[in-house]
Amino acid sequence: MTARSVGVAAIVLWVLSAVVFGWMFVKGWTTPGTDGRTEIVLAPVERDLILGEMRDLLKAVHGVVTGLSDPAQGMKEAERAARAAGMSMAADVDPAIMTKLPLPFKQMGMSVHKDMDALADAIVQKETPAQILARVSSITARCTTCHEMYRFSVLH
């Protein structure tokens, strides 16, 4: 085997690996679900981690809405709740889990985290409760869209 053929084989294997990784990054570990949604296949601990993050997002939304009910004192809590669900929440995500999630799921999730930071900024800038609720509505619309599109199944 010549050095040239080894080099060509290495390049072909590298390109093939890049294509497979790219396809996996976009598609994730998914399968068609029985209810019309796409099933994302995860290990139990991975599923628990993502569902826990979703619960934390819901708690943050609750904190914002609760804060709006008391404009004098609650806005600081609303800002803190929104900030907690911002991009800092997404900073520690395991790359192995991210590989298993389909690209549209990742895009929706990251946009929600970015918009939670923007919501916290809007609260600090003293936007009106109606403006803040409009932002919350935009965020929760993505939540419901994601739940309509995806479900998790556990890798057996």
**pLDDT confidence of residue 72:** 79
**Which residue, among 148, 138, 146, 144, has the nearest Cα to 114 in the 3D structure?**
138
For range 61-76, the mean pLDDT: 91
**pTM score:** 0.81
In the predicted structure, residue 20 carries a pLDDT above the cut 70: no
Largest CA distance in the chain: 78
Quick one: how far is CA 38 from the chain centroid?
16
Domains and CATH numbers, the chain: 3-154 (1.20.120)
In the predicted structure, residue 17 carries a pLDDT above the cut 70: no
Q: For 73, phi and psi rounded to 5 degrees?
A: -110, -30
In the predicted structure, residue 100 carries a pLDDT above the cut 60: yes
Residues 95, 33, 112, 63, CA torsion sign: negative
**pLDDT confidence of residue 13:** 64
**pLDDT confidence of residue 22:** 54
Query: Mind listing the pLDDT tens digit for each residue in 120-145?
Result: 999 999 999 999 999 999 999 999 99
